[in-house]
Amino acid sequence: MSAPVLLVVAHGSRDPRHAATVHALVRRVQALRPDLRVETGFLDFNVPSVQAVLESLAEEARCAAPGGRGGGRREGVREVVALPLLLTRAFHAKADIPAVLADAPPRLRIRQTEVLGPSPLLLSALERRLYEAGLTPADKSSTGVVLASAGSSDPEAIAVIAAIAREWRHTGWCAVRPAFASASLPRTEDAVRELRELGCARVAVAPYVLAPGFLPDRIARGADGADVLADVLGPSPEVARVVLERYDEARVPVLAAVGA
């Protein structure tokens, strides 16, 4: 039996940079595992929609079944591992995506993975972006970092960002402060000011977001008083590896259920 299809579920955005970044990340995932079938669907704004991808996969399964248009001569898609392209487990992961998957055609067996974060690989990706923006490992002890996320009204998501900031601080930075572009406080500019007042020799802003868009642009504006602004995580190799880790973690129970 073939491996389950990996369906990457992205939020979508009116900003064309968002979809371009998602597709670049998916290409990197595909390059890491060429034999894996990877599909991309969007919750809003972009195409194809998650619903359209699932319907297409179900049609393949129907055509491959005995009596279908394919005459049952080829193996059809039966298993799908749906991965939320999200860094924290908030409303989209808890409500939107499960609702969309619940409406999938019955021919498909679908399992939703955990979101990408937290992960040590994502911290490595954040540091990669900071070094690409001009910092060096020797700067760590004198640099304060703002871990700037999109923000959420979900207390669990906010607590996760705060925990990541505490963990990252212990890797050698002068200080790390969380900040949020929406829904929660402090804002990026407030965290930058706090690190200045703390006495850090330099201040860097590390966007804990996957792709450009409205909220990442707000983070960038809030970073005006910082010395360094890193790029979004985007299609970094570490993010691609986390995608495959989440797929593999979810795939085992799916395959066990099939063999039960």
Amino acid at 194: E
Report domain extents, the chain: 5-117+236-259, 134-229
> DSSP letters of 67-126?
TSTTTT-SPPP-EEEEEE--SS-SHIIIIIHHHHHHTS-TT-EEEEPPPS-S-HHHHHHH
CATH number of 134-229: 3.40.50.1400
For the 5-117+236-259 domain, the top CATH level (class) is alpha beta
User: How many of the other CB atoms lie within 10 Å of CB of 29?
Assistant: 24
The percentage of the chain sitting over the pLDDT mark of 70, rounded to a whole number, equals: 92
Q: Average of pLDDT values for 206-228?
A: 98
Taking only the tens place, the pLDDT of each residue in 43-67 is 999 999 999 999 999 999 888 766 5
The pLDDT score that the predictor gives to residue 78 is: 87
Taking only the tens place, the pLDDT of each residue in 82-95 is 999 999 999 999 99
Predicted TM-score (pTM) of the model is 0.92
Fold agreement between 5-117+236-259 and 134-229: yes
Instruction: Say if strands 109-112 and 143-149 run parallel, antiparallel, or are unpaired.
Output: unpaired
The pLDDT score that the predictor gives to residue 67 is: 57
User: Collapsing DSSP states into helix, strand and coil, what is residue 177?
Assistant: strand
Taking only the tens place, the pLDDT of each residue in 165-177 is 999 999 999 999 9
